[in-house]
Amino acid sequence: MKIAENVFGYRTAIANIAYIAGLGSMKEDWVLIDTGVPYSAPFILKNIKPLFHEKKPLAIILTHAHFDHIGALQTLVNEWNVPVYIHEKEIPYLESKKKYPAPTPFKEKGMMSFLSPFYPRDGIDFHSIIKPISSEDSLPFLMGWKWIHTPGHTVGHISLFREKDQLLLAGDALITVKQESLFAVLTQKKEIHGPPAYFTPDVETSFRSIEKLQSLDPKILYTGHGVPMYGKEIREGINELLSQHSTGSLVKGI
């Protein structure tokens, strides 16, 4: 699915990934953002074929290390042997040295929340290929883009922003579907929503991160879950989410 100029989206079961193209000297130079749910590698490889032919990406960039964003990482790294960029604070989780806090299924009711204790939280050993991103760094390859530290959902969560068309790839910092609701996930009903509640240990920080993203005034929004959004519905949705949060009118948590 084309999201914007040189940016494509693909949904692996419940989680989105993105391809950013047109980056290097060759037309087919590209990077992969996130790697989807486990077992999605064959689907990703098939999906990128018509876009990039046999060309592997210059790098993989991860918004964070939750299982539904790193599911195909091991297989794709074995296949491509390319560097993997991730915020330095997220690395211990990716490398299994730290575990994410247990999900909190009762923050919000709904089937997806009910299932969350069964979501795997263990990391994998990727030590040799990981490139940490720290505050001074800019991301290689991504000319015209900047990354924004958007903690709360996880400590080292990042979002990506392209100035020229105000395109925001927000990972799970905020999403465009109510991920806790099985019905909304199945129908992909569009709605600006806080990060998935069952996996967000620091809700207050996650809302500070959403304010940071609001200040960028995104005109195109593609997130880790849900459909892309365009134009003023983004601003309206974010404003509404923040005002509901500040008045405490959000139902249970986020």
Residues contributing to the site for Zn ion (CB under 5 A)? 66, 68, 172, 224
Residue 25 and residue 201: Cα distance in Å, rounded?
42
CA geometry: angle at 238 spanning 68 and 88, to 5°?
A: 45
Contact 183, 114 (CB under 8 A): no
Q: Which of 107, 110, 108, 90 is nearest to 98 (CA)?
A: 90
Q: How far is the CB of 50 from Zn ion (least distance, A)?
A: 26
> Which residue, 21 or 72, is less far from Zn ion as judged by CB?
72
> Which residue, 119 or 141, is less far from Zn ion as judged by CB?
119
Residue 65 and residue 124: Cα distance in Å, rounded?
10
Q: How far is the CB of 103 from Zn ion (least distance, A)?
A: 10
> Which residue, 71 or 237, is less far from Zn ion as judged by CB?
71
Q: How far is the CB of 66 from Zn ion (least distance, A)?
A: 4
Residue 218 and residue 205: Cα distance in Å, rounded?
20
> Which residue, 66 or 87, is less far from Zn ion as judged by CB?
66
Q: How far is the CB of 24 from Zn ion (least distance, A)?
A: 29
